[in-house]
Structure 1
Amino acid sequence: MIQILNSEKSNLISAKLSGKISKADVENIHSRIHNILENYDKVEFYFEMENFDGYTIKGFWEDIKTDASHLSDYGKMAFVGENKWQEWVAKATDFFTSSDVKFFDLENKKNAKLWINQ
């Protein structure tokens, strides 16, 4: 599930991820990406992962398609999580994109918010 969080930055998608992400969740984010790109060159992300179990199969496929079509549209990305595998996902994202990607432990989410809002 994706819960959209309030953000002070107009080109930032801020969300809390928990449970499993569905195709509908990714479609919601994808429409937000398009809305932001109407006014900005880059979309930035703050993803806070707590009790996050990954994706449904359809959600994973939809995310791959979305990312493939927008990789050059992504700016900074802050991943905030509680598990080592989440840090690995952030590192893989950094490897495959030209975005500035950072991982923060949950106890450091204040620092993540400061960094993404700079």
Structure 2
Amino acid sequence: MLEILPETRDNVLAVRVRDKLTIPDFDQYRNLVRDLMRKHKETHIYYEMVDVDWTQPVAAIENGLFDIIHGLDYGRVAMVGEKKWQEWAAKLISPVKKHGIRYYDLADKDKAMKYVLQGEE
């Protein structure tokens, strides 16, 4: 399930994902990112994962390809999670982003949001 957080505004997209991520979830996320990228030079992303156990492989691959194509249009990106595989995923896709991805544990989500919104921790 994809939840749009209230911090979403201007060139910032803040989302929380829970449970299973489906292809429609990824499609909605990509459409939101694409719309922001059309309007702004850089799009900053806060991506929080809570109780996420599974991602549909096809959706994850499609999302990865989107990131590669649009990597230079991303600004500050923070991924917040609670599992080691989430940190590895952040490190894996970090090189395709203009400023990379900073990974934070769920306990540090306030620091992550501050980084995305203000550029500092």
TM-score, normalised on structure 2? 0.85
Paired positions, count: 118
Measured after TM superposition, the shift of residue 48 of structure 1 is 0.9
- Range 73-82 or range 51-60, more displaced: 51-60
Aligned to 1:82: 82
Cα contact 2:78–2:101 (8 A) shared by 1: yes
Q: Which runs of 4+ in 1 moved over 4 A?
A: none
- Cα distance in 1 for partners of 2:80, 2:26 equals 18
Measured after TM superposition, the shift of residue 8 of structure 1 is 5.3
Aligned to 2:57: 57
Measured after TM superposition, the shift of residue 104 of structure 1 is 0.9
Amino acid at match of 1:64: G
Alignment deviations for residues 83-112 of structure 1 (CA, whole Å, 9 cap, x no partner): 111111111222333323111111111111
- Cα distance in 2 for partners of 1:57, 1:85 equals 14
Segments of structure 2 that go 5 or more residues without pairing to the other structure are none
Aligned to 2:25: 25
- Cα distance in 1 for partners of 2:103, 2:45 equals 12
TM-score, normalised on structure 1? 0.87
Alignment deviations for residues 42-85 of structure 1 (CA, whole Å, 9 cap, x no partner): 11111111101241133223313322331221111111111111
Aligned to 1:36: 36
- The answer as to 2:105 corresponding to 1:105 is yes
Segments of structure 1 that go 5 or more residues without pairing to the other structure are none
Q: Could you say what the CA RMSD is over the residues aligned between the two structures, in angstroms?
A: 1.7
